[in-house]
Amino acid sequence: MIGFCDLHYAVKSIFLVVTFVAVCSSICLLPRVFSRKKLMPKLLVPLCFLLSGAMLILFAAQVKSAHPSWHISPIIESVTELPVILPILLLLAVITTLLTIVIKEIKFEKNSITRSSVKESLDSLNTGLCFAYKNGMVMLINHRMNNLSHTIFGRNLQNVNAFWENLSNGEIQSGVTRLSMGANPSLRLPDERVWTFSRKVIDGITQLTAAETTKLNKLTEELKEKNAELTVMNERLRKYGENVDKLTREKERLETKVRIHRELGQALLLTRRYLQVDSDNTQELLNILKRNIAMLRLESESLKNDEPLIMLMKAAHSAGIEVLITGQTPKQEDANRLFFEAATEALTNAVRHADAKKLCVELTEDDKAYFVYFTNDGSKPQNKIVEGGGLGSLRLKTEQIGGTMEVLYQPEFVLKITVPKKRGDVL
Which residues of this chain interact with other proteins, rule CB under 8 A?
Answer: 227, 230-231, 233-235, 237-238, 240-241, 244-245, 248-249, 252-253, 255-257, 259-260, 262-263, 266, 283, 287-288, 290-291, 294-295, 298, 301, 303-306, 308, 311-312, 315-316, 318-321, 336-337, 340-341, 344, 347-348, 351-352, 389-390
- Residue closer to other proteins (CB basis): 58 or 351: 351
Nearest CA among 89, 63, 62 for reference residue 77: 62
- Residue closer to other proteins (CB basis): 6 or 229: 229
Residue 400: count of CB within 10 angstroms of its CB? 10
Buried b (16+ CB within 10 A) or exposed e, 216-239: ebeeeeeeeeeeeeeeeeeeeeee
- Residue closer to other proteins (CB basis): 195 or 339: 339
- Residue closer to other proteins (CB basis): 339 or 371: 339
Task: State the minimum distance, in angstroms, from the CB of residue 302 to other proteins.
Answer: 9
Task: State the minimum distance, in angstroms, from the CB of residue 418 to other proteins.
Answer: 19
Q: Are 48 and 23 in contact (CB under 8 A)?
A: no
Task: State the minimum distance, in angstroms, from the CB of residue 248 to other proteins.
Answer: 7
Task: State the minimum distance, in angstroms, from the CB of residue 352 to other proteins.
Answer: 6
- Residue closer to other proteins (CB basis): 200 or 238: 238
Task: State the minimum distance, in angstroms, from the CB of residue 117 to other proteins.
Answer: 46
Q: Are 265 and 257 in contact (CB under 8 A)?
A: no
Task: State the minimum distance, in angstroms, from the CB of residue 322 to other proteins.
Answer: 13
Nearest CA among 335, 334, 339, 348 for reference residue 389: 348
Task: State the minimum distance, in angstroms, from the CB of residue 306 to other proteins.
Answer: 7
Q: Could you give phi then psi for residue 161, rounded to 5 degrees?
A: -65, -45
Task: State the minimum distance, in angstroms, from the CB of residue 119 to other proteins.
Answer: 45
Query: What residue type is assigned to position 209 of the chain?
Result: T
CA gap 139, 206 in Å, rounded: 9
Q: Are 171 and 123 in contact (CB under 8 A)?
A: no
Task: State the minimum distance, in angstroms, from the CB of residue 336 to other proteins.
Answer: 8
Q: Are 374 and 415 in contact (CB under 8 A)?
A: yes
- Residue closer to other proteins (CB basis): 111 or 243: 243
Residue 91: count of CB within 10 angstroms of its CB? 19
CA gap 367, 321 in Å, rounded: 33
- Residue closer to other proteins (CB basis): 74 or 389: 389
CA gap 91, 108 in Å, rounded: 25
H/E element, 70: none
- Residue closer to other proteins (CB basis): 69 or 305: 305
Query: What residue type is assigned to position 126 of the chain?
Result: N
- The order of strands in the sheet holding 194-202 is 138-141, 128-132, 205-212, 194-202, 186-188, 177-180
- Residue closer to other proteins (CB basis): 111 or 283: 283
